[in-house]
A = this chain, B = another copy of it.
Amino acid sequence: MSATANDVHPLKSTAIERQSLASAVADKLREKIIRGELHEGEQLRQDAIAAEFQVSRIPVREALRHLEAEGLITIVANRGAVVSALSPEEIGEMFEIRAVLECHVLRQAIPNLTKEDFRKAEEVLRRYEQVVEEDSDISSWGTWNWNFHSTLYAPANRPVLLNLLRTLNNNCDRYTRLHLLFTRDLHRAGRAHRVLLDACKTRQPDVASQELWKHIMEAGEYLRDFIKSRRDKQ
């Protein structure tokens, strides 16, 4: 995806991962962007990146192409790459797409959820709340959030869709992070997660789906307006 795909495959943990430099650079850059170390609009100089990772510009360029297709950066011919600065409307759309797809996949997953899945979700949620409590490192928030959601989605058995959702979440999380930094409103999402998990446990697809829709769309709308007002000020 492509539009679709993330190059990190489901990977059997046994396989030795011998990725090319280009893939490695792409992974590093993706992480930096998601963690907010590279903020939106920032120029990505090929030479600088090449020097930082001590490689030539060729693998760097290939990595940039890949990230462009993921939507994380924007490349303009002869002018280089910048970290994508989504418009408020585009941000709203991203969250809307997520809401539509995640609600669908959750409905497919609910009948297949096992006790083991619930146990794992609980575990992830506990660590999520721990991270929130420690208030230490917002950058790892996104990882735990995705871990929780994907645990509930996995039993739907939709690998392609899950991959697409991961890419979308990558692109949304850097804005969510921004929002959290300002509001510190991490606990509300935590409560929503609890409600969601309960609805799954009691096998109520309608309730769960509705809750998830609200959870994602509210975040999206809030962020859309937040970014809009923030940009208007400047």
Q: How far is the CB of A171 from chain B (nearest CB, A)?
A: 7
Partner of A62, one of B62, B70, B159, B163: B62
Which of A90-98, A119-127, A135-143, A183-191 lies at the interface? A90-98
Of the A-B pairs whose beta carbons lie under 8 Å apart in the complex, a sample of 19, sorted by A's number, is A1-B3, A1-B5, A1-B70, A3-B69, A3-B70, A4-B168, A5-B70, A20-B77, A22-B65, A61-B62, A62-B62, A65-B65, A66-B66, A69-B69, A69-B70, A93-B158, A93-B159, A97-B160, A101-B101
Q: How far is the CB of A95 from chain B (nearest CB, A)?
A: 10
User: What residues make up the interface of A, taking CB atoms closer than 8 Å to B?
Assistant: 1-7, 18-20, 22-23, 58, 61-62, 65-66, 68-72, 77-78, 90, 93-94, 96-97, 100-101, 104, 158-161, 163-164, 167-168, 171
Chain B residues closer than 8 Å to A5, beta-carbon distance: 1-3, 68-71
Copies in the complex: 2
Chain B residues closer than 8 Å to A58, beta-carbon distance: 58
Chain B residues closer than 8 Å to A158, beta-carbon distance: 93, 96
CA distance A160 to B87 in the complex (A): 11
CA distance A109 to B93 in the complex (A): 14
Determine if A97 and B90 form an interchain contact, defined as CB atoms under 8 angstroms apart: no
Determine if A4 and B70 form an interchain contact, defined as CB atoms under 8 angstroms apart: yes
CA distance A101 to B104 in the complex (A): 10
Partner of A69, one of B4, B168, B171: B4
CA distance A84 to B6 in the complex (A): 14
Q: How far is the CB of A51 from chain B (nearest CB, A)?
A: 20
Q: In the A-B complex, list the 5 residue pairs whose CB atoms are closest, starting with the nearest.
A: A69-B69, A1-B3, A3-B167, A2-B70, A2-B71
Determine if B100 and A160 form an interchain contact, defined as CB atoms under 8 angstroms apart: no
Partner of A1, one of B1, B93, B96: B1
Determine if A160 and B90 form an interchain contact, defined as CB atoms under 8 angstroms apart: yes
Residue of B nearest to A160 (CB): B93
CA distance A4 to B1 in the complex (A): 4
Determine if B71 and A3 form an interchain contact, defined as CB atoms under 8 angstroms apart: yes
